Amino acid sequence: MPDAPRKRAILKKTEAESTATEAGPSFWTTHLSTKGQVVIPEQIRKDFGLRPGDEFVVVALNDLVFLKRV
C-alpha cells in the first residue's frame, strides 16, 4: 500500500490548513444568461477568493466544462 502514508499525512492537517482545492467536490446550481454569462455561486467565490476582473481559461471535455483562474 504505497498510498497509505500520504493519506495519513493528509488526515493530520488541521481544518485551518485545508483549502478549498483540497476539499471534496461541492455541487451548486446556476444558470446561463441570454448573454452567455454564468453566475459563480457566492460561497465558491469566497472560498477561492474570486474577484471581479479575474480571468479564466475555459476547458471543455466531453460533457464537462471547467473554469481555471489564470
Total-model pTM: 0.59
Over the stretch 33-61, which tens digit does the pLDDT of each residue have? 999 999 999 999 999 999 999 999 999 99
How many Å apart are CA 1 and CA 11, to the nearest integer? 16
Over the stretch 9-27, which tens digit does the pLDDT of each residue have? 444 444 444 455 566 788 8
Residue 63 has pLDDT above 60, yes or no: yes
Q: How far apart are the first and last CA of the chain?
A: 36
Amino acid at 5: P
How many Å apart are CA 63 and CA 70, to the nearest integer? 22
